[in-house]
Amino acid sequence: MPVKINYTPNTESDIKLMLKEIGVNSIEDLLVDIPEGLLCKQINIPTGMSEMELKHSLKSLSDKNANLNKYTSYLGAGAYEHFVPSVVDHLSSRGEFYTCYTPYQPEVSQGTLQGIYEFQSMMCELLAMDIVNASMYDGASALAEAAVLAIRHKRKKNVLVSKTVHPEYRGVLSTYLQELDVKLIEIEMEDGITSVSDLESRIDNNTACVLIQTPNFFGCLEETEELVGLTHKNEALFVACVNSMSLGIIKPPGEYDADIAVGDIQALGNYINYGGPHAGFFAVNKEFMRKMPGRLAGATTDTKGRRAFTLTLQTREQHIRRAKATSNICTNQQLLALRTCIYLSTLGKAGMIDIGNLNIHKSHYAMDRLCELDGIEPLLNKPFFNEFAIKISDNCKIEELSRHLFESGIIGGLDLSHFYPDINNAMLLCVTETRSKEDIDELVLAVSNII
């Protein structure tokens, strides 16, 4: 029989009874931990609007935002503006892709699974690695998961990470490792790249892995062969965090014997979108295939001998005993991985080489032009991809320069002192294929007028 429930909306007496039951006298007693300045005393809810009025109101609010349709941006540092061909938006917005989540049932998820499989295959070729998963939350979590794999595999307690690795990536790494019995050691840098001598003095037989980013946070290319040799000599794993867009022209991690390669695919067919979403990739050689986190899609045949796809080697906690799981990451960024798959298919090998060269040439042109100005010089003297740092004379502060550039319709670079307090009055700029020669010349003119 159905149970009849008598429900009466809460009255003032009901509220008093509930407060008494939990041991407080008033609603305000529940809010004592909130600073007075953050308390909202009254919520002024406007009257209702028609759909037309609401759209107009929201459009007026959104127009107050600075966006890349109105401003020319030279800000990188982990989120990059690259051209996205319209076919990427068109195909990825199809309903069968846009609404998909988790392909648990392969019999009804063949399209999604094939998209994952093709993404893995293309990334393997781009990275020159054996196996790539699909995918991680972002590049930072992928780097941290690589350290966890190395600790588990090597059964060692020290993790070495270069100070040239993105500071936010290092922050995520520290958070991952803080509850483990592991020592996180930072390697010093020299002229914007990892100090080989400092690594040599810190690495020992208790080192599980060495984490290096190339191009690194400053855009500089690391001396990977020497770093890999020193790492393997001490029987540790070498983890390379790479800029996926650079791999059309820069040696991929598999060719310099990296054991694990990680990074972010935001640059490959995905927008900045206020800093997200991102998606990470995680690549290994066959030796670590059963120890990697995340999902793998494999090719197989069905009962009629036709080619089919399915999730395989599922080492996540939802599929096996939690104590044996390699990671508690329980989802993937499939839509972004799909966009990357479409992007790489559209560009092809020649396209990736062309875009890589455009990034190299345009960023070096910008660096040369800026350093022709009085009061500006290179902060570092190392080869770089599409990011570079400049030192500005003390008579013009970074905050002032950035403010004036913004007033001129230009989003300047990153003030490096935010992450590196010992680096004063220096700016990290990024120049991609989206910037024209005229854009760069306009930047140089604006900077020269300011300083």
Q: pLDDT digit string (tens) for 355-406? A: 999 999 999 999 999 999 999 999 999 999 999 999 999 889 999 999 999 9
pLDDT in tens, 279-293: 999 999 999 988 888
User: In whole numbers, what is the pLDDT of the chain averaged over residues?
Assistant: 91
Question: What is the tens place of the pLDDT at every residue in 184-199?
Answer: 999 999 999 999 999 9
What sign does the CA torsion over 70, 72, 74, 76 have? positive
Q: Which fold has domain 86-344?
A: Aspartate Aminotransferase; domain 2 (3.40.640)
Q: Give the pLDDT confidence score for residue 26 in this predicted structure.
A: 87
- pLDDT of amino acid 312: 85
Residue 188 φ/ψ, nearest 5 degrees = -70, 165
Ordered by start, the domain boundaries in the chain are: 86-344, 349-450
Segment 262-269 mean pLDDT: 96
Q: What is the pTM of this model?
A: 0.87
Query: pLDDT of 134-185, one tens digit each?
Result: 888 999 999 999 999 999 999 999 999 999 999 999 999 999 999 899 999 9
* Per-residue pLDDT at 5 exceeds 50: no
| Topology match between the domains 86-344 and 349-450 | no
Q: What is the pLDDT of residues 106-144, one digit of tens each?
A: 777 888 889 899 999 999 999 999 999 988 899 999 999
How many other C-beta atoms are found inside a 10 Å radius of the C-beta of residue 365?
Answer: 16
Residue 328 has pLDDT above 80, yes or no: no
- Given this structure, which CATH class describes domain 349-450? alpha beta
How far, CA to CA in Å, does 226 sit from each of 107, 158, 232, 409? 48, 20, 10, 43
Answer yes or no: are the C-beta atoms of 446 and 405 closer than 8 Å.
yes
Q: What residue type is 438 in one-letter code?
A: E
CB environment 68-88: b (16+ within 10 A), e (fewer): eeeebbbbbbbbbbbebeeeb
Could you tell me which of 293, 296, 263, 261 has the C-alpha nearest to residue 278? 263
Residue 312: in which H helix or E strand, if any?
Answer: strand 307-312
- pLDDT of 101 > 70? The answer is no
